[in-house]
Structure 1
């Protein structure tokens, strides 16, 4: 009897899972990949768009036709785990196994006046292609004042991104010859940047920002934006002024993910090593999944983890159907790059699932790490694009 595996979402995790499943499963089994557009963007390149090193078309991900995979257009509206069915705006899909890779959505409206500030042209974000391109144009006009880079909610995708963004903004302003006239400060509710990676990494990144004249303000949880006064109002009743605000908007799971009822806050809890959910034959990977580390902190939301988790979930599906396949085991190995400008990048790398806490090292910036990131970008784009 033939089996049907449905993979929801065609980001890095979903694409990797679908293609790996096609390799592991016999031809008679169906692999169905569902996405609302099959027109995405490579997240690791968005800050380069903001910096002006890439244009929009250079970082788009438009998957070619994948042999043996049924690529279905559709917006996933809900998931019925009991019926083993996925409701989309184009009909219902039933499955024998399900891999949920629907990512995370931005929710700027959760912070009062943040959307209004963006509409008024005094705030922006770099988590979308249009947002990153807008910031590029905006920082070509900034000559004086205070730029605030704000983490408006946790969790969020790529824990290094806000601080890398601040460093690249500084680099762009330096290139324009106006850096000394612009103050740049970062604000986060966490005690340190990349807090999950440990205090040594966080302190090293703070020192890196200080070297570039960027302020760091920890423990600041945003309450609302005072648009008229251009001030950030925090939950401890403190406030800070800004002339232009770059915000990491709050993130939320997709409504279809919430519809599963598997997680109290919407993100789906999974086994840290197998990515299996509490429901048989259902896996969750990437930003959708909630992986708890040995120290109780959540695994960061990042494409490098989504790719590795996809391999594990595909192996789990194959074994669930009784086929031979690799042991489903997520090692927790991960790395990310922190661009500092001038063709140099730092690299954080380590084992995030090691007890009692992640063993991560932040290596000093170098041209070699910048080139590694360029190669990673080239490899991913070449792998998926027609």
Structure 2
């Protein structure tokens, strides 16, 4: 089955629609032209006189086919910008007029067939060109030639003109549908790429949050262990065991993160924050017992990022974490000139790190507002949560 119909099955949906549209136009052109000539020849006895008309009709059909192909190749751009389309727009009407001229010596049936061939062949090429001059001049010339060839059949010329208008409308609608299909395919591809980009952004933020905190813990405890070892303190060995435990925790959470199964637990984040700050010699005050359960994960994001920034960008001696009336506050001293700024969150007067900017972007779909600013020696991260959740906590997690 796949051998004889592979030309169809291996194509995309857009390519199939384009192939169907293209060959529908080709078949209609050839069917109309050959059927009109054959009907005229069968109705009259003028075999030798019909030979020139048949030759010119074949040339006109070939030119019309090439012109349709050129228009479809450059659509939705302006066809007249393409050299092949410009040649087709000139050659096809000229051959159509030549068909009318050759039919002047034929009987009435031959002249009627020539008029139909001229109108139908030209419509398929001109219909795809968005040019007022071409759309006006070509049918006017054809109508005048038809009236000269068929002076006794004005009604027939009018019928062929209406058929010409119908074919032009068909071409326009078909090209419009083809353009819509192409745009939908582009939109589908863009949506897929956006989903991948969102997942990558989610993963990078989680890596920043998880590994940043654990690496900060390892760095602080390793520095403490080195200091204790220089003093000959027996606590150095216990501190190194804490470093090993932090490394194992980081490895475990990194594996869970890769699988997409690592939820954020507020209690775990608070324990990690206390342990990390205590190891760094920073006093920690926590009062978040009243945080609603629906905001536990988002509050964990805030505490994790804020504590990581305390260790990286300050010489703090005290950190306060407090929940009051729908507002989470993380405050530390020792900001001073040591706070490093890599960006500024919208609406904030102080400089904040890129991690806080990413945190603000994650909180925005939930309806929460983040405000981070420095006031002299104090740095505050304040997040206002709405009464109810207005969105998903994060982009949908997919299994790697």
Classify the TM-score, shorter chain: under 0.3
User: TM-score with structure 1 length normalisation?
Assistant: 0.20
More helix by share: 2
Tell which structure's C-alpha radius of gyration is larger.
Answer: 2
User: TM-score with structure 2 length normalisation?
Assistant: 0.20
